[in-house]
Amino acid sequence: MKKDIILVIGSCGQIGTELTAGLREKYGTLNVIGADKFTDLTDDGPYHQLDVLNMGALADLVRREKVTQIYLLAAMLSASGERNIHAAWQLNMDGLLNVLKVAAAQRLDKVFWPSSIAVFGPSSAKHLCPQEPQSEPNTVYGISKRAGEYWCKYYFEKHNVDVRSIRFPGLISYATKPGGGTTDYAVHIFHEALEKGQYDCFLKEDASLPMMYMKDAVRATLQLMDAPKEKLRIRTSYNLSATNFAPCDLSAEIKKHLPDFTISYNPDYRQAIAEAWPASINDLYARQDWNWEPQFSMQMIVTDMLLNLKKKKEKIKEPQLVHDFPDFPESNSLTTMYY
């Protein structure tokens, strides 16, 4: 039986950090190769510096390491993309096309690529948005994701590339700092609550959006990739849902743990992006085709986030023998952001 060798592109990003760990736990550390733009990382397993826009380097790495599956997570997110529209389009579209071309040429077993609720737009249903809604994305990020969904379907139908995708809602994680998305207030708020006891939110207090804890997102990804090929009816990208809340709901739950926490609201251009997205998602196909079921409610997310962030902050404070490296890799460029 052929051994699975998995390449995770964007392994240092918001999804990549925890997904790489989950894949290594499942497939073995040496069989999961991390790849990102950073050079000075201490990683727990195989790691290569890689620019996904360099197709030759990508193809060489896949061939040299005998890769059988690629998880492509490198992207510029919604808010960052609006400040760097041409760079966002290039990274989000050319990066995906490079991976699809390599997957077809080298006959890879599977590819995973995340889409987003950003594919929806002002004309999409606001509540229980269906799998195939009227879709008019109004950000470069959303446009690139919608186009990418159809590229995935095209390569499946024309080149037999088994590429699978999820339309992720807003994702919440304690492992990395926010990466430039409109829903990232729901990560930033925890850091500010613990460090300052106050948060100035860039969305309105009642801006309800679909959200998901990263542990659920990783589990969903592994479930989808394990599902029998013949069971999958969606070859663009599966709707996925877990919980829905607004900033006022999240802040009220945080106050139960941190009674002195306060929040203010100063909506900026990201509010208009949020208003174009649904408040809730219908994910019936994911539940039927690969038995999706979320585990984390908003209350459980708040408890687990605060617990783990407190642990991380205490760990950072401990004296180190040689270096005190930060837990969060930061980009020094506005033109490249990662999930």
Asked if residue 237 lies in contact with residue 165, where contact means CB atoms within 8 angstroms, the answer is: yes
Domain extent at residue 80: 6-176+212-242+280-295
288 within some domain: yes
CATH number reported for the structural domain that contains residue 290 in this entry: 3.40.50.720
Buried b (16+ CB within 10 A) or exposed e, 303-320: ebbbeebeeeeeeeeeee
Please give the mean pLDDT across all residues of the chain: 91
**Number of domains within the chain:** 1
Separation CA 199–CA 310 (nearest Å): 17
204 within some domain: no
44 within some domain: yes
Asked if residue 298 lies in contact with residue 245, where contact means CB atoms within 8 angstroms, the answer is: yes
Interval 92-116: pLDDT, tens: 999 999 999 999 999 999 999 999 9
State the DSSP code for 2.
P
Single-letter residue type at 313? K
317 within some domain: no
Alpha helices per DSSP H over the chain: 14-27, 55-65, 78-83, 85-89, 95-105, 140-159, 185-195, 214-226, 247-257, 269-275, 284-290, 298-317
- Whether the per-residue pLDDT at 322 is higher than 70: the answer is no
Which pLDDT band holds residue 135 (cuts at 50, 70, 90)?
Answer: confident
72 within some domain: yes
pLDDT given for residue 329 in this prediction: 37
User: Could you tell me which residues come within 8 angstroms of residue 87 by beta carbon, excluding any fewer than 6 positions away?
Assistant: 76, 335, 336
Asked if residue 33 lies in contact with residue 76, where contact means CB atoms within 8 angstroms, the answer is: no
pLDDT given for residue 4 in this prediction: 96
112 within some domain: yes
Which pLDDT band holds residue 77 (cuts at 50, 70, 90)?
Answer: confident
305 within some domain: no
- Whether the per-residue pLDDT at 203 is higher than 90: the answer is yes
300 within some domain: no
pLDDT given for residue 318 in this prediction: 55
So which residues are the catalytic ones? Answer: 141
Residues of the chain with pLDDT > 70, as a percent, come to 91
- pTM for the whole thing? 0.89
